[in-house]
Chain A
Amino acid sequence: MRAQDEAEIVACIPSLRRYARGLVSDRDRADDLVQDTLERAWSRFSMWQKRGEVRAWMFGIMHNHFIDRLRAQRSRPEDSAGDDVPELPQRAVQADTLEVRDLDRLLQRLPPEHREVLLLVGVEEMSYQEVATALGVPIGTVMSRLSRARARLREEMQGRAAPASRIQRVK
């Protein structure tokens, strides 16, 4: 393995951890995902041909592990009993003072595949093409997931805004 490849993989780790935390919220489970991703990456790297796209490749591996885990959870619902996202407190929160924890909950309520796109675009700042490569879907799918994720999040954040600001908006 070339030192550059190794360095590029290592350089991806902080952002992989950030992405994983956005995907699953819980710190240990997020790092499980990172660990699986790295183990796969190191073992597969010698067989991987498309050099120069390390980042999309790494995020693609994480995507596969994430989806596998979701499937495993769905087929064994008793195991995911503790994973339910807690309900949001029924209080009005100004959108502009939305607490970080509230945002985390809203994020976890998005469908997983929408959450992936929103994070890859909004936080990892990948191009739409890179996201399409990482997730193995057409770019049109990326765009429609992004659109839905943003619309849903916006709706939920507005729903938490104080009534006064809504009245102003309608006027």
Chain B
Amino acid sequence: MTMDDHKPRGIAADAVSPITEADLHAYVDRQLTPERSALVEQFLATHPEEQERVRDWRQQNVLLHDLLDPVVDEPLPMRLPLKPGAHAFPWRGLAAGVLVAIVSGGSAWSLRGHMDADAARLAFANQAGTPSSTLASSDGELTGFAHRAAIAHVVYSPDVRRPVEVGADQEQALVTWLSKRMGTAVKPPSLAGLGYELIGGRLLPGDKGPVAQFMYGAAGGQRLTLYVTREVPGQDDTAFKFGKDGPVNVFYWVEDHFGYAISAGADRALLMKVSQEVYRQLKPR
């Protein structure tokens, strides 16, 4: 048992190299290749003392998570600067008052936040004008808010532990918070009919003000995000547009000075259906 071999990932190449303490740590920290991991398991089966050591180290990690994970769910203190040149992020501090209870732990996003269909049917108020959805085939590079929406999707949707700031089980707080910060009534549409349940939402810094991102999840783990921004130039352009950013497909449109973008890894046809459903729910009845 030595610490001489500090290359836990590389060891796998040599199946006969002896198990080192570095291997045991890397085994606990899940940093070994599956092959090497299997060798460590064989080794542990015949070395009860080492087995106990590994078990205790694992337990340390669990206890440290128990001790420190609650910090992740605390509202951020106002004094933290959340963008360049700013001394504080004004909306985050204000939001703290609304966030009486926040989602706890890593399981917050699980599909327990079933939304009442009636409560969810109304999407965004402040809708005027006649909807005229025409499908424009303008595939291409994403720019402006649609591009930022795709980036925000990539940044936050893989986050298993904390994909949202406020979970669907706190929908009221979520709606109040986002509405207050967006300066208009904002409500997540219901996409349960298409197999996507609301996970929750977060606010992000946009170019000219806060932007809302709603996260949805399907039973298979696929994520979908709806990005809503006010920072769209004055044109009212209700055509659906489609674009790609790497593996992310985005449908986006502008309605009444709000920009909407739906991003997902899902194929274009499904995304189109989702977009139409969101648009339908946005329409004044």
Quick check: is B241 within 8 A (CB to CB) of the other chain? no
Q: Which residues of B contact A147 (CB under 8 A)?
A: 3, 21, 25
Interface of B (DSSP majority class): helix
Contact-size category for B: 35 or more
Nearest chain A CB to B206's CB is how many angstroms away? 8
A100-135, CB under 8 A of B: which get 1 and which 0? 100110010000000000110111010110000000
Q: Which residues does A use to contact B, with CB under 8 Å?
A: 1, 3-4, 6-8, 10-11, 13-15, 17-19, 21-22, 31, 34-35, 38-39, 42-43, 45, 95-96, 98, 100, 103-104, 107, 118-119, 121-123, 125, 127-128, 138-140, 142-144, 146-147, 150, 153-154, 157-158, 169
Q: Which residues of B contact A127 (CB under 8 A)?
A: 31
24 residue pairs of the A-B complex, CB under 8 angstroms, read: A3-B152, A11-B155, A11-B156, A13-B80, A14-B162, A15-B72, A18-B69, A19-B68, A35-B81, A39-B81, A42-B81, A42-B84, A119-B68, A122-B60, A122-B64, A123-B68, A125-B29, A127-B31, A139-B6, A142-B6, A147-B25, A150-B57, A154-B56, A154-B60
Name the residue among A3, A128, A139 with the largest chain B CB count within 10 angstroms: A3
Asked whether, in the complex, the Cβ of B63 is within 8 Å of the Cβ of A123, the reply is: no
**If A121-B29, A127-B31, A140-B6 touch, does A3 touch B151 (CB 8 Å cutoff)?**
yes
Asked whether, in the complex, the Cβ of B80 is within 8 Å of the Cβ of A35, the reply is: yes
Asked whether, in the complex, the Cβ of A128 is within 8 Å of the Cβ of B81, the reply is: no
